[in-house]
A and B are shown apart, each in its own frame.
Chain A
Amino acid sequence: MFDLSGKAALVTGASGGIGAAIARALHGRGAVVGLSGTRENPLKALAGELGDRVHVLPCDLSDAGAVTALPKDAAAAMGSVDILVNNAGVTRDNLFLRMSDDEWDGVIAVNLTAAFKLSRGVLRGMMKARWGRIVNVSSVVGATGNPGQGNYAASKAGLVGMGKSLAHEVASRGITVNAIAPGFVATAMTDKLTDDQRGKIDAQVPAGRMGTPEEIAAAAVFLASPEAAYVTGTVLHVNGGLAMV
């Protein structure tokens, strides 16, 4: 089950906690992985840890030219892109009334527009191969909203609508498009929280704790796998019961 050997996966935001866990998990199932991210050093460190079947593909997703080049570079390095994980995301939180155009545009560009362009860029190869998996990492806030995150929530909800539309178009070609919506996940970012802050978060979650990056990665492995061929246009919520939607 869930054997990905012979498949090539491009993971954006692979320098972050969730992205790195997804890359590790796909690699662990036999996939060749392309690690993309803005910070080259963490990507190289992860590549070193994984050993073979790995390519480092640095890319700044706020740079439109670089985004267009990435699918081509990835296909050149790996031979094809069979699995695309649009995981990269940024936040620029602010109250709606105070949110600047830049804060809005910057988040939409990286979280949503880059995912659109990368998906478009890998489709041709997937259509020819009659096989493909696109996994968009959304967020629980895309379904529930969150104060101070109008831009982020819009981008994450946008991924869901975009993915469903694409799922309709390409289902007959063996390509599935799905989203994962993580809730609170323990990463380097949440390590900075105080125990008190963390306790408050845990209390909101029926499971009583934050999720781990590995639990998000397991969902990505499932959606990328041959076994999930009949799962498309869906959102897999991985949130410990935080929002049952």
Chain B
Amino acid sequence: MSDIEDRVRKKVVEHLGVEEDKVKENASFIDDLGADSLDTVELVMAFEEEFGIEIPDDAAESIQTFGDAVKFIKENT
């Protein structure tokens, strides 16, 4: 398990208050982890801060699952 994955998972757990083992590769933030649309915006803000990157709005919209987030961040850090 990569360091990036761990850090992303930690942020998701922190923001959505879910169990760590629920945060799987294809877990959808909204459908599986109980996020609302504003939560997903906040998650993206948290990722930006954690990894010191800017996630543009169109990219942010495509980040729907834990796997999407890890993939985007791996490609952009």
Give me the interface of A with B, judged by CB distance under 8 Å. 124, 127-128, 169-170, 172-173
Contacts and interface: CB of A to CB of B under 8 A. Distances in A.
Question: In the complex, which range does the number of interface residues on chain B fall in?
Answer: under 10
B1 interface: no
Nearest to A169: B38
A124 B45 contact: yes
Contacts of B38: 127, 169-170, 172-173
Interface string B29-71: 0000000001001100100000000000000000000000000
Contacts of A128: 45
A172 B36 CA distance: 11
Nearest to B46: A128
A173 B45 CA distance: 14
In terms of DSSP, what is the predominant structure of the interface of chain B?
Answer: helix
Interface of B: 38, 41-42, 45
A227 to B, nearest CB: 25
Contacts of A124: 45
Contacts of A173: 38
Closest 4 CB pairs of A and B: A127-B42, A124-B45, A169-B38, A128-B45
Nearest to A128: B45
Contacts of A170: 38
A103 to B, nearest CB: 33
10 contacts: A124-B45, A127-B38, A127-B41, A127-B42, A127-B45, A128-B45, A169-B38, A170-B38, A172-B38, A173-B38
A169 B37 CA distance: 9
Contacts of B45: 124, 127-128
